[in-house]
Structure 1
Amino acid sequence: MRKRVVRVALTAALVAVVLLAVPLALAIRSSLYADRRDSLERAALSGAVRVSPDYATGDPVELPGPPAGGRIGLYDRQSRLRAGSGPRTGDTAVRRAFGAEVVRGHSGDDLVVAVPVSHAEQVIGVVRASSPAAAVRARVLAVWAVLAGACTLALTVAVLIARRQARRLAAPLEDLSRHSRAVTAGDLGARAAPSDIAEIDQVAHAHNEMLQSLTELLRRERDFTTNASHQLRTPLTGLQLTIEAGLEQTEEGGLRDSLRAALATTRRLHGTVEEVLRLSRSRGLPHSAVPDTPVPRLLRETQERWHGTLARDGRRLECELHDAPDDVRVPGTPLAEILGILLDNAHVHGRGTIRLGVRDLDNALAFDVSDEGTVHGEAARLFDRGHSGHGTGTGIGLALARDLAISLGGRLSLSSGHPATFTLLVPVRQDGTTHDGATEGDG
């Protein structure tokens, strides 16, 4: 920011100096040459008025002193030098002056002015004044050097002023940037301080108001999540205790099996509430999740949970372990939630046999959930919260599954549109640990 402001100011100052200095330098050069020619012309005119018509018969001629470093001389009609100093024979300027006109020009490296001397309407001689052009060039270069120094001084002052202004402009923006980074790091109490620049103060004020609104919104959402999970966990715990008490008092039979199924459902619901609360606290970032469940057991429990539901609709669920090792443990509860969402999506929106397979990718496990249906539309939008590809859902399930996968350091994606296949990648290590470093014995 500061360098950019200085660069812009220096560019503007440089353009202004060039636009002013170049014409001024040319004007100074022209003025100095014109001044020297004027002084030569005045000397030649002064000499012309002193020339007597009888100079050709020997009447002495008193010419004025020549300009500094110059020469002045009188030439007769044969272009011969009769008095003063100069070339012995008149040059082009002298010959042209016999045409009754004042001539200004160059002769070699000299500036020359030739003035005719008239008598009885006839030109009887020419006074020639000359001066070395090098002296004028030296003056021009000296003045140009002073002008260049003034331009350099002006640019230096412009840079100093620009740097000062850059610091003044950049300081509140840098402060705002620091506060924004602090907010990104989690400090929602950071606020931008006011400055003496109205426009930046407006931005800082809008930033603080936005942050205040976001902080309040996040607080309400977290309070809602905490309150909802608390209010759900309490009746769920009571319901579990009631069902367990009923199991102890009920003899073997259909009612006992129903109670077992109800107890399993309440436990899964309790796990779902815990996972949603964990996700809200982690804000979707990877965190320590204990790998407490072997992969075969996770597949077995998943098949037991969904077999009956799918069988009632004439659908089958096939689970295959492929080449995945049997001793690798994974975080059972969050993975069960993700797989449950994917299986429910295949149940509601897919068709035919549903297949759940696990593949070993050395440093990760790939869980593939596929059916015989087809996914239409953009694959990326399937995971947008509120977007339902078939128009029959709330558009929350896949978005929640993706967030749960990210919280484990994994990734969920649509790997094939036909047949519809979703792939969940969960990082593991060769020694049977997940990405967070927890070992098999941690569960």
Structure 2
Amino acid sequence: MRVAVSAVLVALVLLAGPLAWVIHRSFFEDERGALERTALAATVTVGPEFASGDALELTPPRPGGKLGVYDLASRLRAGSGGPVADRVTREAAGGRAVSGRTGADLVVAVPVVSEEKVIAVVRATVPARSVWTRVLWGWALLLGVTLAALATAVLVARRQARALSTPVEALSRTARAIADGDLGARAAPCGITELDQLANSQNSMVERLTQLLRRERDFSANASHQLRTPLTGLQLGLEAARQLPPGSDLRPALREALETARHLEETVEEVLRLARSGTEDEPPLPREALVRVLERAESRWHGALAAAGRRLEVRSQPGAGSFEVPGRTTAQILDVLIDNALRHGRGATSVTAREAAGAVAVDVADEGTLTLDPGTVFARGGTGGSGTGIGLAVARELAEAAGGRLSLRGAEPTTFTLLLPGAQG
């Protein structure tokens, strides 16, 4: 607003200064012109007989002014004025009209010519203060117009400043809300192109930061959930090996520990890959035959289910086992589904691979009944027991990152279906 008002004020000063000078000059020039016309009209009444002393009847002078006729001896012969001619009047005796100031009066003197000789001088005057009165009134009017223009500029500047400051303040409030932790805050458009571009940039930045924070939070939760089972298995295997009698063959326990460590490494890589999914630096997925993935899953989970008095059945329909699938991703998803069946299901757990219209489907089922709302079964935090409610959400994200789909096929008995793209090896 200060910039706008200052610009208008400078413009008004630059305009009002010359206008004030023009008003002053034009009013005084107009008055001199009127005096000259009055003097010229009076010269008509001065004839050749003026020199012989005849009386003259002069036209009326200007309001408040004087009109007189002087002879060449600089004496007042008719009308009003000083008894002796002033400088202006004496100059006019040279044969040309002269204007000037005498004291506080404006003076115009016009020579009277007869037979190509100057025989007298007509002198017209008016007080300068009467002209200054009109000049001051003109300046007052100019000042009023200037102040009105300045007031209008202030009002317009305030309105424009408010129109500009309101969206800027809204952006500031949004930025403060984001700084306070409200990552859902977004800047609204205001119709000003530059500010809308700034708002879009801020929203894009916040969206990117939100995604990064969500990825970091999900990575922590996913890593905690996915590493828990293999770490527990590794610990139990090592504890069992430690309790063997001296001299026992530790090679089977070591092989099992190495296998668990390898699976643990794959789990870490899958969690990292899931955190990087959708980015340009996402590595390609290694592929292997589905039958080998199923065999390793059976090896990992057969003991855990048997310890709970339950049976694990892994079977592959003709042609399905030879499909090439993302091995580590499929293994992680199967671990989640089998672990879910172990914790929340009952009875035998079956894993069945089948061909499905050029793709491969893997069904994981148990003899239990789903107690959760099917619409929220894959939501983070949704759990029907003592679990964290993260596993199924991670499994679905892994499937989608691999180009597949994980869905709930049935609630009684509980059946999940993993559909993966693949080609027969």
Coarse TM-score class (shorter-chain normalised): 0.5 to 0.7
Find the counterpart in structure 2 of residue 193 from structure 1.
Answer: 188
| Length-normalised TM-score, structure 2 | 0.56
3-state SS of 2:81 partner: coil
State the Cα distance separating 1:245 from its structure 2 match. Answer: 4.3
Q: C-alpha distance in 2, partners of 1:177/1:210?
A: 15
Larger radius of gyration: 2
3-state SS of 1:114 partner: strand
The one-letter code of the counterpart of 2:38 is: A
Find the counterpart in structure 2 of residue 205 from structure 1.
Answer: 200
Q: Deviations over 1:374-433 (max 9, x none)?
A: xxxxxxxxxxxxxxxxxxxxxxxxxxxxxxxxxxxxxxxxxxxxxxxxxxxxxxxxxxxx
**C-alpha spacing 1:250/1:230, structure 2 compared with 1 (3 Å):** farther
Q: C-alpha distance in 1, partners of 2:2/2:58?
A: 61
1:141 and 2:136 aligned: yes
Find the counterpart in structure 1 of residue 154 from structure 2.
Answer: 159
1:20-39 maps to which residues of 2 (within 5 A)? 20-39=15-34
Q: Deviations over 1:311-340 (max 9, x none)?
A: xxxxxxxxxxxxxxxxxxxxxxxxxxxxxx
State the Cα distance separating 1:229 from its structure 2 match. Answer: 3.4
State the Cα distance separating 1:227 from its structure 2 match. Answer: 1.4
1:54 and 2:46 aligned: no
1:110 and 2:105 aligned: yes
Q: C-alpha distance in 1, partners of 2:13/2:79?
A: 46
The one-letter code of the counterpart of 1:117 is: V
Q: C-alpha distance in 2, partners of 1:237/1:104?
A: 118
Find the counterpart in structure 1 of residue 94 from structure 2.
Answer: 99
1:174 and 2:169 aligned: yes
CA contact (8 A) 1:52 1:59 kept: no
The one-letter code of the counterpart of 1:167 is: R
The one-letter code of the counterpart of 1:219 is: R
1:389-400 maps to which residues of 2 (within 5 A)? none
1:40-439 maps to which residues of 2 (within 5 A)? 40-249=35-244
The one-letter code of the counterpart of 1:239 is: L
State the Cα distance separating 1:12 from its structure 2 match. Answer: 1.2
Give the CA RMSD over aligned residues.
2.8
Unaligned runs of 5+ in 2: 262-267, 269-425
Q: Deviations over 1:335-376 (max 9, x none)?
A: xxxxxxxxxxxxxxxxxxxxxxxxxxxxxxxxxxxxxxxxxx
CA contact (8 A) 2:47 2:114 kept: no
The aligned length equals 256
State the Cα distance separating 1:63 from its structure 2 match. Answer: 1.1
Q: C-alpha distance in 1, partners of 2:57/2:83?
A: 18
CA contact (8 A) 1:97 1:126 kept: yes
**C-alpha spacing 1:88/1:246, structure 2 compared with 1 (3 Å):** same
1:15 and 2:10 aligned: yes
**C-alpha spacing 1:243/1:52, structure 2 compared with 1 (3 Å):** same
The one-letter code of the counterpart of 2:218 is: D
CA contact (8 A) 1:102 1:116 kept: yes
| Length-normalised TM-score, structure 1 | 0.54
Where does structure 1 differ by over 6 angstroms across 4 or more consecutive aligned residues? none
Find the counterpart in structure 2 of residue 362 from structure 1.
Answer: none
Q: C-alpha distance in 2, partners of 1:238/1:229?
A: 15
The one-letter code of the counterpart of 2:133 is: A
Q: C-alpha distance in 1, partners of 2:28/2:118?
A: 28
